[in-house]
Structure 1
Amino acid sequence: MAANLKICSVIFLAVVVLNEQETNGALSARTWRKIYNANRNGPYLGLVIPNLFEMNPLLQSPSFTSSNLTLDFDGRRFRFGTIGEKKVILAMTGLGVINAGITTQLLLSLFKVEGVVHCGIAGNANPSLNIGDVTIPQYWSHTGLWSWQRYGQGPKDELPLESDGDYPKKIAYLKFANYTVNAAHVASYDNLLNNIWFEAEEVYPIDETPEERQHTFWVAVDPHYFNISKKLEVLKLEGCTSSTTCLSETPKVTTVKRGTSASIFLDNAAYRSFIYNKFKVRWTWKARLWHSYVFSKRCLSLLLGLSRTWPVGAWPSPMKPTPSPRSPQIIQLRLLWNLSSYYQLVSLVTKLISTHRY
């Protein structure tokens, strides 16, 4: 009798799992089957791109061959194909660090991914860089986590929760009064907005004690990818799209030390100068994944990887409980805003992926 009950239980569970109309889990049986079949053909390189405006040049590139497989989940569409001989998954994130984090986490949690390439347009905080330049930062920060100090207090005063280790005054702060205009004739002046203190992000490494936090401000991209990208600095980029449309300076590929990110579309010279001088960033990623590069989403994806304690951007396949022998990696390529030269970034991404080797 007990044996019959066990058999009936197994059959019942199998029916529930296989019949998606009876399944109440987050993923339907049909979606799980698609993910499973896709992962059988992996591993893949993931390409994470802010929007269709920036993705379409890659989709239209002769270097990209679609496998005619797309998987829609949670409002995201994952497009499968190849670039050269490398299998890739393309995913659009949408604006802001939250969308970037969700999309990248889904990509790495659902699929067997060995690396991630972020690419898109960005803003520039470094006067030595020009429109059309393609830059690859080695380190990223997120400059959108602040402790906003109350009026009347200053650097010598304790911030709320600072004694608990939440908001230490270790990195930098911006004093609004320093940006007052038309005040040359005034002996002293202040600003009710007072000061904002930049704070490090909390991370929770997967192989440490649960809920035991660590803090990090600068996050390194994967050194393997960064070394590959340095080899691309010799590439010659086109400065003209036609006989009458040219950039004032011939664009170049360059690696830079630092970039920064926040959910802020940065179009303010004073703040851009502050970011550059205080943090020595070279560009900014705007409200998609941009900052000195000034970026708004990229750093969050790197933080996701860091919290896993594998090389930045390392997530195992959801179909297997153990990570692959080599974990995923992340690198970011940023093009200083210029639509006509965006196609050069597509070419660069293609070369980066085609030269990818472990």
Structure 2
Amino acid sequence: MRVLVLNLLISSLVFPLSATPLKRRKSLNTIKYLNHKGPYLGLITVYPPEEDAFFATKAFKLDPIHPFVDLSGRRFRVGKLHGKKVIYVRCGIGMVNAAATTQQMLDLFDITGIVHFGIAGNLNNSMSIGDITIPKQFAHTGIWDWLELNGTLGTNDVADLKIGSYNVPKMQGINLLGQIGYSYEEFFSESGKPNTAQPLLWLQITRKWLQFAASLEGTELEQCVNSSVCLPQKPKLVVGLRGSTANIFAGNVAYRDFLFNTFQVSSVDMESAAVVMNEVCRLKKLYNLVLFSALYG
């Protein structure tokens, strides 16, 4: 997204304003107006079922003058949630979509922090469908070194998955897929040395918001959607576990068990680490919070 923004700035120096498409000019003028009315809290979901559930609460009230801004194929909706000014967007599935949308939101709007919420996979047997988890940190578990059959882990690898350990039956022996080494994320920050990456495994959620989230533990959550659809047990809200993110839908039980046992993560999704990393890499102090409900698996 930085490249796209840079290209836009360069174009404005080379071409007159009239060369900027009318639709984009209108959007940028609206953003300028909105930022004078800010700041805002950013809200991000991923795909239509999450968005539909959010809208169904009727808690989000659109701004009567500028209810939305369309940018790069996404609709950024402007309004209030329980009296707080917010800008909401649905980013789309996967880390690329999440990173691009978060970067665009932070670059163009006056945002004090982001709440990313929706559905996640469950890796922890103490959690059930319908529970809510607010993790304290995330790992990007999709950076792999897929090693040769008898290869050795690299110095940047923090864990390994020996695929042969999951052979059925066991006596089949070596698996030709070998093993996978899990590597650190490369982290670039405005407060760091330019063009120099730091190795990073755990991305931290803002401490101030985690403290606030902790005050929500014990909140009574509804067990039934209606008179005929109920969860088998009353759902709970848990703060302070770990989450993992990768461009992988983790529907395989053995792999989910591996992630839980190796990284001690309780939830798995395809966007959160990208959202959090976009925030923590910036010099400006932002608050970030990730909230998952309706855990599956």
TM-score by length of 2: 0.89
2:87 paired with 1:100? no
Counterparts of 1:1-358 in structure 2, within 5 Å, are: 16-17=16-17, 19=18, 22-23=19-20, 28-68=24-64, 69-155=67-153, 159=154, 168-169=156-157, 171-184=158-171, 189-282=173-266, 293-308=267-282, 310=283, 314=284, 327-337=285-295
TM-superposed deviation, 1:201: 0.7
State the Cα deviation string for residues 250-298 of structure 1 (Å, max 9, x = none): 101111321111111111010000000111111xxxxxxxxxx001111
Classify the secondary structure of the residue corresponding to 1:178.
Answer: helix
Report % sequence identity.
33
Amino acid at match of 1:275: L
CA contact (8 A) 1:123 1:337 kept: yes
- CA distance in 2 between partners of 1:49 and 1:39 (Å): 22
Classify the secondary structure of the residue corresponding to 2:214.
Answer: helix
- CA distance in 2 between partners of 1:253 and 1:210 (Å): 40
TM-superposed deviation, 1:24: 7.4
CA contact (8 A) 1:70 1:77 kept: yes
Classify the secondary structure of the residue corresponding to 2:286.
Answer: coil
- CA distance in 2 between partners of 1:301 and 1:243 (Å): 37
Larger radius of gyration: 1
- CA distance in 2 between partners of 1:61 and 1:237 (Å): 14
Q: Show structure 1 runs of 5+ residues with no match.
A: 1-12, 163-167, 283-292, 315-326, 339-358
TM-superposed deviation, 1:152: 2.0
TM-superposed deviation, 1:336: 3.0
State the Cα deviation string for residues 12-60 of structure 1 (Å, max 9, x = none): x9x933x3xx2379x9432221110111111000000001221122223
CA contact (8 A) 1:203 1:306 kept: no
CA contact (8 A) 1:46 1:115 kept: yes
**Which range is displaced more, 236-245 or 70-79?**
236-245
CA contact (8 A) 1:154 1:195 kept: no
Amino acid at match of 1:295: D
- CA distance in 2 between partners of 1:89 and 1:113 (Å): 8
* Equivalent residue, structure 1, for 2:5: none
Classify the secondary structure of the residue corresponding to 1:232.
Answer: coil
- CA distance in 2 between partners of 1:111 and 1:51 (Å): 22
- CA distance in 1 between partners of 2:222 and 2:62 (Å): 27
- CA distance in 1 between partners of 2:226 and 2:277 (Å): 41
CA contact (8 A) 1:122 1:335 kept: yes
- CA distance in 1 between partners of 2:115 and 2:98 (Å): 13
CA contact (8 A) 2:210 2:240 kept: no
CA contact (8 A) 2:280 2:286 kept: no
Amino acid at match of 1:154: T
Classify the secondary structure of the residue corresponding to 1:147.
Answer: strand
State the Cα deviation string for residues 158-180 of structure 1 (Å, max 9, x = none): x4xx5xxxxx23x1000000000
CA RMSD of aligned residues (A): 1.9
CA contact (8 A) 2:128 2:295 kept: no
CA contact (8 A) 1:139 1:257 kept: yes
Q: What is the total number of aligned residue pairs between the two structures?
A: 281
- CA distance in 2 between partners of 1:152 and 1:274 (Å): 21
TM-score by length of 1: 0.75
